[in-house]
Structure 1
C-alpha cells in the first residue's frame, strides 16, 4: 500500500514504448504540470519487447502512471491486474495507473477523440460516418461511434476480405467497403485514421477531393502538419475541418484525470494545444 510519505513526494510518470525520440508527450505533460501546479515529472521509457515484464516491475515500484504506445499497447495487457471496459473492447491499452490496487489499464484515445468531437460541435448520433483505416486508433474511434449510437458506420479498408475480426466485435453493424466503394458514398463525417499525409510525406491524401466533398465535416487524427492535404482539400470544399492536435492533448489530459483523480475542462486542453502549436 502507498504510504502517506510517498504520496507527498513528486510523482513519476512516463511513456512506455519502442522508439520514442520524436514524441510530444513529455512536452504535453510538463505543460499540464505547469498550468495545474501539480508536482510531477514525465520521462520517455524506451523498452524492447523482451524487457517489458522487467520494466513493468520497475514501474509498479516507482511510478504513479504510464502511457503506452507502439509496440506495447497489446503486449502490456497480460501484465496488468485489471483493464477497463473500453480498453477491453478496443483491444488496446494506452494508459496505466499504478496504486495500492495494482496496475489498471485504460484507453484514453477513446475519450480524447470524444472530447475533440464535442469541442468542435460534431455530433455523430444517427449520422452517416466513414472511417478510413483499420489500425489501433481506428478501433478507439469506431468504439466511440458505436457508443454514441452512430447511424451508419462505414469502415474503409484496402482489403475487405482480411479485416481484423475485432472490428466485428466492436461494431457488428459496421459496413466494410474498399476505397473504390467510397466514391459512391455520401455522409456527414469522414475520419482519417491512416498515416497518409503525415510529416514528412505531406503531399499525399488517403482519398480524392471528390470523395472528401461528399461529406459535411472532415476529421484527421494527424497533427503534423496541422493542415494535411486531406484537410486542405476539405477546406477548399467549404467543409468543417478538425486536425488531431486537440485529440492528442485531450487523451493526455484524460490520462492525468485518471492519475490525479480530478476533472479538467477544455480550456486547459486549448492552452496546452496553443503552446504546442508554436513548436510544430
Structure 2
C-alpha cells in the first residue's frame, strides 16, 4: 500500500502517524507520504502520483476543491459538498470521495451528540465546513446557521447553503443574537501554535449544550475549555481525523475497518496533544 497527503504546507500534520497505525492494526505493509506542492504543480503531480504506484491520496487545505477538475469521477457526497479529501487511483482513473462527511458522523455518534431536530451553528466556510453542513442537513437538523466574516461573499458557497436551506450571518450578528443546541468550529482559530485564540466569545459559547471543535492540536482548545466550564458536552477533532483516515483506507483497501480500530488510534493520538 502506497498513499500520501496532498497539501500546500504540511509541517504539523498527524496523518502519517495515523495511517501507519492503521496499517499496523490491519497487519499490512504500507507507506504514507507527505506531498507538499505549490498550486501550479497540482495537475502535473496528480498525473505523476497515479503513474508512480500510489493507491490513493488524501487532500487537505487548500486543494480540496482544486483537485476536482483532474478526477475521472466524483462520489455523490463529494459532488454535493463540493470538496474532495480522498482520491483513489485505479486502472480506470482517479476517483474522488469525501470521508470528512462520514468521519464527522462517526465522531458525533461516539460522543453521544445528536443533531436531528437541533439548531446547529457552524463557524467557517471551508471544505470541512461544507462536509459538516451537508451532514447536518442530511441528518435532519432543525436549522443550520453558518457564521463567517463575509457572508454571501463566495458565490459557490452561497449557492451551496441556499440548496441546503442554511442561513449565513456575520460574527457580529452571532455575538449579539444567536444561541442554539450544537456549535461546530470549522475555523483554524485556536490551533497550534496560536492556542490562546477563540473564534467567538464565552457569552456565545455558554449558550450551547454541545460544542464541537475540529481542531485536534491542542487537544483542549480555549473554545472547548469555555464550553466545559458551562457544562457542555464537548468533542475535539481527533476522533473525526482518525475516522476520516479510516474511511479513506476502507476505500483504498476495499474492506471495512472496525470502529474499535478508530477508538484505539484516536486514544493513542490524543495523548500526543495533551
Task: Note whether the superposition's TM-score is higher than 0.5.
Answer: yes
Matched residue, 1:13 = 3
Per-residue CA deviation, residues 70-127 of structure 1 (Å, 9 max, x unaligned), is 2322221111100011111121111101112211001111111111111112111111
Does the alignment pair 1:125 with 2:109?
no
- Whether the 8 Å CA contact 2:77–2:97 is kept in 1: the answer is yes
Give SS of 1:234's match. helix
**1:243 alignment partner, one of 198, 219, 236:** 236
CA separation in 2, counterparts of 1:207 and 1:54? 40
Which ranges in structure 2 are unaligned for 5 or more consecutive residues?
none
Q: Choose 225-234 or 162-171, whichever is displaced more.
A: 162-171
CA separation in 2, counterparts of 1:78 and 1:161? 24
Matched residue, 2:24 = 34
Per-residue CA deviation, residues 41-89 of structure 1 (Å, 9 max, x unaligned), is 1111222222222222222121111111223222211111000111111
- Whether the 8 Å CA contact 2:65–2:127 is kept in 1: the answer is no
Matched residue, 1:25 = 15
Matched residue, 1:264 = 257
Between the two proteins, the alignment pairs up a number of residues equal to 270
**1:161 shift after superposition:** 4.3
Which ranges in structure 1 are unaligned for 5 or more consecutive residues?
1-10
**1:133 shift after superposition:** 1.3
**1:155 alignment partner, one of 146, 150, 154:** 146
Per-residue CA deviation, residues 206-243 of structure 1 (Å, 9 max, x unaligned), is 11111111111000001111111110000000110100
Give SS of 1:203's match. coil
- Whether the 8 Å CA contact 1:15–1:66 is kept in 2: the answer is yes
**1:171 shift after superposition:** 4.8
CA separation in 2, counterparts of 1:191 and 1:13? 30
Q: For the aligned residues, what is the CA RMSD?
A: 1.5
Give SS of 2:177's match. coil
- Whether the 8 Å CA contact 1:18–1:71 is kept in 2: the answer is yes
- Whether the 8 Å CA contact 1:142–1:171 is kept in 2: the answer is no
Does the alignment pair 1:213 with 2:206?
yes
TM-score, normalised to structure 2, is: 0.94
Matched residue, 1:83 = 74
TM-score, normalised to structure 1, is: 0.92
Give SS of 1:201's match. coil
**1:264 shift after superposition:** 1.7
**1:146 shift after superposition:** 1.0
Matched residue, 1:176 = 168
